[in-house]
Amino acid sequence: MAKLYFSYSAMNAGKSTLLLQASYNYQERGMRTMLFTAAHYAENGIGRITSRLGVSAEAELYREHDNLFERIASADSESRLSCVFIDEAQFLTRDQVWELARVADRLSIPVMCFGLRTDFQGKLFPGSSELLAIADTLREIRTICHCGAKATMVVRHDHQGKALIEGDQVAIEKSVYVSLCRKHWEEETGRIAPDAPSAV
């Protein structure tokens, strides 16, 4: 039975690398895959998934109002799909997450989503929230904070290196993001009250 998968992490954990490797494994065996990434990442109107290791592949772009079930069903009717991969899945709408669930349930095509769990304010992205609620399989991809602990949060810096605590949820410039553990995220964002007890 096909499933809806959600692999999530903080920034720079290797999500795109894992996605591209999994798609390659299917293709190496003569199977057809379909890759999507958010339209935020279009390069001259073209979708491309690129890992920090320099590996990349072309991808379909999805936008907020796209019906992903219809697009995938149409592609599958032309030539059978073995798996669908979604990069930057945090930008999916809640309706699109359900559309992907229907791809697994009604078209019997596995759907593997990769994305961030929370934004720079520590809040769930809508797409991630719905995936955490209804995906069949959840997997955390781990990365580390500068202290060596597991990084679960993302901080956004301005160009002077100051941590931002307000602003739009979506800002594509990856260079201003840093993955941190919860303790150091609190310290960076000033979320700790002055009279909070210190660790013993």
Q: With contact defined as beta carbons under 8 Å apart, do 4 and 113 qualify?
A: yes
Q: Which residue out of 28, 58, 70, 88 is catalytically annotated?
A: 88
**Which residue pairs from 25-33 have beta carbons closer than 8 angstroms and sit at least 24 positions apart in sequence?**
26/82, 26/83, 31/82, 31/83, 32/79, 32/80, 32/81, 32/82, 33/81, 33/82, 33/83, 33/84, 33/85
- Catalytic: 88? yes
What's the number of CA atoms in the CB half-sphere (13 Å) around residue 183? 9
- Report which of 101, 21, 17, 27 is spatially closest to residue 54, judged by C-alpha positions: 17
Active site members: 88
